[in-house]
Amino acid sequence: MVAEVVYTVEEVAGLLKVAPQTVRRYLVAGKMKGFKIGKDWRITESDLQTFVEGARPEPGDADTDGC
């Protein structure tokens, strides 16, 4: 059995180039999945990937056509 990579809020913030507080807001709002160990949030690699894929605009979206 291979253990999945689990990130801290600070690690995710560094990867996404946002403040740790922004990641916490995403978690509390349910925009990003995660779980708590005591008072600290943790985010699995698969949940981070799902969040990033959901944040990407779909090809052909009005916002991505350069107009």
Q: Which helix (H) or strand (E) holds 29?
A: helix 20-29
Within-domain flag for 39: yes
Within-domain flag for 24: yes
Nearest-5° Cα angle at 52, 5 to 59: 145
Within-domain flag for 43: yes
pLDDT tens figures, 24-56 = 999 999 999 999 999 999 999 999 999 999 987
* Percent of the chain residues past pLDDT 70, beyond the cut: 90
Number of domains in the chain: 1
Within-domain flag for 18: yes
CA-CA-CA-CA torsion for 50, 37, 22, 67, nearest 10 degrees?
A: 0
Range(s) of the domain holding residue 39: 6-53
Within-domain flag for 1: no
Predicted confidence at residue 62, as pLDDT, reads 60
For residue 25, the domain's CATH number is: 1.10.10
Kindly state the tokens that stand for 5. Answer: 């990579």
What confidence tier does 57 reach under pLDDT thresholds 50, 70, 90?
confident
Within-domain flag for 61: no
Within-domain flag for 58: no
What confidence tier does 66 reach under pLDDT thresholds 50, 70, 90?
low
pTM for the predicted model, two decimal places: 0.80
